[in-house]
Amino acid sequence: MDTFSTIASLRGYLGAEKTRGRSIAFVPTMGGLHEGHRSCIDIARGLGDLLVVSIFLNPTQFGPGEDLNSYPATLEQDIEICRQCGCDVVFTPVADEMYATEQNTWVDVGRLTEPLCGRTRGGHFRGVATVVAKLFNIVGPDVAVFGQKDAQQALVIKAMTEQLNMPVEIRLSPIVREADGLACSSRNRYLSADERRRAAGVRSALGAGLEVLRAGGRDPRSVCAAVERHLTNAGITGGEYVELLEAKELTPINTVDGRVILAVAARVGTTRLIDNLVLEVGSDVEEVLLF
């Protein structure tokens, strides 16, 4: 496995590999690697000749007062995980090079960034889309893999590649969960033992919504109400949103039908957790990939 920390050295290496006709599968990360990242890496391995992972804690996607300074910094461990996962290349740039000059050019994907996390995390998706565009320009991947846990992010990035004609296919990994259902996240490391126990309530609350749908309920308000009740009963009172939206454009719906996303953001202690179920709702209700 080769590790590069400068843009020029990575470009030199990958440029030569591309000249030899080798395709590139890419997994961008911010480090703090966990089983969810391993799943993205496993999926990416089968999609290209060279498997590239980036580890870059991107400052522009954090707002004031968010957890940029406490985000898990585990670079050595992350590089070891990449080695174990059979990655070919790890790219670990520094912010001084990624943002070497004042950044006046931003990628703003518009309407898709407004609901859900966009409502409370102003500028977050602009930072995400901009850094992913930069990474795509540096790495030049044929395909890139993202986790469905960050479903809105995945939709934003897919829209960006389509609307800016970037020749990158976007693929998804299903959400990877701990044994009690908690979705794997770098931020789970912030949870105390008591918070960690309560945090499992986020997934079981989504399950309460799923039960309403499986029992034939098709009113989004009654589904969300069941999720909210369950969150409260699980001692999770820091709910930020519980929403059931159409899953392509993230638009509100009056009746649940077709592909929908049931999404939650809630604080357990001071830790902000997000989770979702993407569902195909017809006569049956099935968990599916977003795209």
Which stretches of the chain bind ligand PAF, using CB under 6 A?
Answer: 28-30, 58, 61, 128, 131-132, 150, 153
Pairing of strands 271-281, 285-287: antiparallel
Nearer to ligand PAF, 150 or 195 (CB): 150
Pairing of strands 258-268, 271-281: antiparallel
Q: Give me the least distance between CB of 251 and ligand PAF, in Å please.
A: 23
Q: Are 138 and 11 in contact (CB under 8 A)?
A: yes
Q: Give me the least distance between CB of 60 and ligand PAF, in Å please.
A: 9
Nearer to ligand PAF, 132 or 151 (CB): 132
Nearer to ligand PAF, 177 or 197 (CB): 177
DSSP code, position 184: P
Cβ neighbors of 151 (< 8 A, separation 6 or more) are 247, 261, 263, 276, 278, 290
Q: Give me the least distance between CB of 121 and ligand PAF, in Å please.
A: 11
Nearer to ligand PAF, 121 or 230 (CB): 121
Helices assigned H by DSSP within the chain: 7-19, 35-45, 75-84, 95-98, 117-120, 124-139, 151-163, 193-199, 201-214, 220-233
Q: How far apart are CA 94 and CA 55, in angstroms?
A: 9
Pairing of strands 24-29, 143-147: parallel
Q: Give me the least distance between CB of 61 and ligand PAF, in Å please.
A: 6
Q: Give me the least distance between CB of 8 and ligand PAF, in Å please.
A: 21
Nearer to ligand PAF, 34 or 230 (CB): 34
- Per-residue CA distances from 140 to 124, 133, 136, 186 (Å): 23, 10, 5, 26
- DSSP 3-state assignment of 106? coil
- Catalytic: which of 34, 37, 124, 230? 37
Q: How far apart are CA 121 and CA 288, in angstroms?
A: 27
Nearer to ligand PAF, 170 or 212 (CB): 170
37 is catalytic: yes
Q: Give me the least distance between CB of 56 and ligand PAF, in Å please.
A: 6
Q: Are 147 and 39 in contact (CB under 8 A)?
A: yes
Active site residues: 37
